[in-house]
């Protein structure tokens, strides 16, 4: 059975969310941004709800450690 996606962080700001996603990508961890607002930092419209950063369940612990070490701000 394939790993499911789990939320490891939530952000109110799309730029912060994208920076966190890129920090994980730098370590080879694929992630997705999901939420009720736009995730394009150039959209010019603020997010309506939290933007969730999600990774596959087997990478969640490692991803959280990376975000903590990079001091990425979660909202």
Question: Per-residue pLDDT tens for 11-58?
Answer: 988 889 999 999 999 999 999 999 855 545 555 555 467 899 999 999
Domain span at 9: 5-69
> Does residue 28 fall inside a structural domain?
yes
CA 48 to chain centre: 16
Q: Is the pLDDT of residue 10 over 70?
A: yes
The tokens of 54 are what? Answer: 């999600």
Q: How many residues does the chain have?
A: 75
For 6-71, give the DSSP string. EEEEEES-HHHHHHHHHHHHHTT---EEEESS---TTS-S--SSPEEEEEEGGGHHHHHHHHHHTT
| CATH code of the domain covering residue 43 | 3.30.70
> Does residue 75 fall inside a structural domain?
no
Number of domains the chain is built from: 1
Angle of helix 14-26 versus helix 60-69 axis, rounded to 10:
110
Q: What is the structure's pLDDT at 42?
A: 59
> Does residue 32 fall inside a structural domain?
yes
Q: What is the structure's pLDDT at 71?
A: 78
């Amino acid at each position: 059975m394939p790993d499911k996606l789990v939320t490891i962080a939530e952000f109110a700001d799309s730029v912060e969310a994208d920076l966190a996603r890129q920090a994980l990508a730098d370590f080879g961890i694929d992630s997705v941004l999901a939420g009720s607002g736009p995730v394009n930092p150039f959209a010019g419209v603020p997010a309506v709800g939290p933007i969730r950063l999600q990774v596959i369940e087997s990478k969640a612990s490692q991803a959280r450690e990376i975000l903590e070490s990079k001091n990425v701000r979660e909202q």
